[in-house]
Amino acid sequence: MKIVEAYLGLGCNLGECEANLCSALQQINELTSVTVNSISSFYRSKPLDNMPQADYLNAVVQIETGLLPIPLLDKLQAIEYQHGRRRHQERWGPRSLDIDILLYGDQVINHSRLRIPHPGISQRDFVLIPLVEINPQIRIPGLGKISEVVALCPDRGLSKLPTPCLSKKHR
């Protein structure tokens, strides 16, 4: 089984967001063939396109996995479902938990259920800034060095927060 480094983006703006993200991080770490290596700080961000809804709480996690992308996606969507996420909800609407596969090794994937790098990654400071925190040397396939991508990303007023649910091992 080949082990791949992947990055996941987590977000929430419904319910107890801090508890939802902490629970999701624990569940990800408990998945078979997944090891959590690093977790970013939590960040508060405004909704995309200034949609009338509560601010989001976001984080990025770096994992190593032996799972292929679609089986990994299935397991992550099962965690979302356990937290009340339903896929028929409006695009960019409020959600109790969102887990996106941002990067999967250096692969570019265009599948009907999954696109990697995650579409819109270059326009999302709530993904890029936590990625830089975890790995300032990372390259995004098709886009280049993270520092170059961040420099072109709109600043939407991201706020860094403490991440209370993490052990020192993951900070």
With beta carbons less than 8 A apart as the criterion, state whether 145 and 21 touch.
Answer: no
Told to judge if 74 belongs to the known catalytic residues of this protein, a careful annotator would answer: no
Q: Which of 49, 51, 54 shows the shortest CA–CA distance to 123? A: 49
Active site residue 55: no
Question: Exposed, middle or buried: residue 38 (CB in 10 Å: 0-12, 13-18, 19+)?
Answer: middle
Among this protein's residues, is 85 annotated catalytic?
yes
DSSP 3-state of 139 = strand
- Is the omega angle on the peptide bond into residue 69 within 30 degrees of 0, that is, cis? no
Is 98 an annotated catalytic residue? yes
Query: What's the chain's Rg over C-alpha atoms?
Result: 15
From 55, 87, 95, 115, active-site residue: 95
The one catalytic residue among 91, 98, 155, 156:
98
Contact assessment for residue 114 and residue 59, using Cβ atoms and an 8 Å cutoff:
no
Inter-residue contact 164 to 21 (CB < 8 Å): no
User: CB of 171 within 8 A of CB of 130?
Assistant: no
**Which of 74, 86, 100, 115 does the annotation list as catalytic?**
100
Q: Which residue out of 85, 86, 113, 156 is catalytically annotated?
A: 85
- Annotated catalytic residues are 85, 95, 98, 100
